[in-house]
Amino acid sequence: MIHSLVKKCNEDFVMVCVLHRNILIYLSEFLKTHSKIYLKYFMQNISIYFFLLVAGARVNAKDSKWLTPLHRAVASCSEEAVQVLLKHSADVNARDKNWQTPLHIAAANKAVKCAEALVPLLSNVNVSDRAGRTALHHAAFSGHSEMVKLLLSRGANINAFDKKDRRAIHWAAYMGHIEVVKLLVAHGAEVTCKDKKSYTPLHAAASSGMISVVKYLLDLGVDMNEPNAYGNTPLHVACYNGQDVVVNELIDCGANVNQKNEKGFTPLHFAAASTHGALCLELLVGNGADVNMKV
* Residue 15 binned pLDDT confidence (cut-offs 50, 70, 90): very low
Residue 151 domain-assigned? no
Residue 174 domain-assigned? yes
- Whether 110 and 173 map to the same domain: the answer is no
pLDDT at 25: 53
Number of domains comprising the chain: 2
- The predicted model scores a pTM of 0.83
pLDDT digits (tens, 9 = 90+) for 193-227: 999 999 999 999 999 999 999 999 999 999 999 99
Q: Which of 224, 151, 219, 137 is nearest to 182 (CA)?
A: 219
- Whether 115 and 186 map to the same domain: the answer is no
Give the Å distances, CA to CA, from 1 to 20, 52, 278, 280. 14, 16, 59, 59
- Whether 85 and 184 map to the same domain: the answer is no
User: Own/partner pairs for 115-118, CB < 8 Å, 24+ apart?
Assistant: 115/147, 115/150, 115/151, 116/150, 117/79, 117/82, 117/83, 117/86, 118/74, 118/82, 118/86, 118/92
Residue 56 domain-assigned? yes
Give the Å distances, CA to CA, from 206 to 16, 37, 76, 104, 213. 55, 40, 33, 27, 8
CATH number at residue 234: 1.25.40.20
Residue 138 domain-assigned? no
- Whether 107 and 202 map to the same domain: the answer is no
Residue of higher predicted confidence among 179 and 53: 179
* Those residues with Cβ within 8 angstroms of residue 147's Cβ, 6 or more apart along the chain or in another chain: 106, 107, 110, 112, 115, 139
Residue 235 domain-assigned? yes
Residue-number span of the structural domain to which 96 is assigned:
1-121
Distance CA 105, CA 107 (A): 5
Residue 127 domain-assigned? no
How many C-beta atoms lie closer than 10 Å to residue 274's C-beta?
Answer: 16
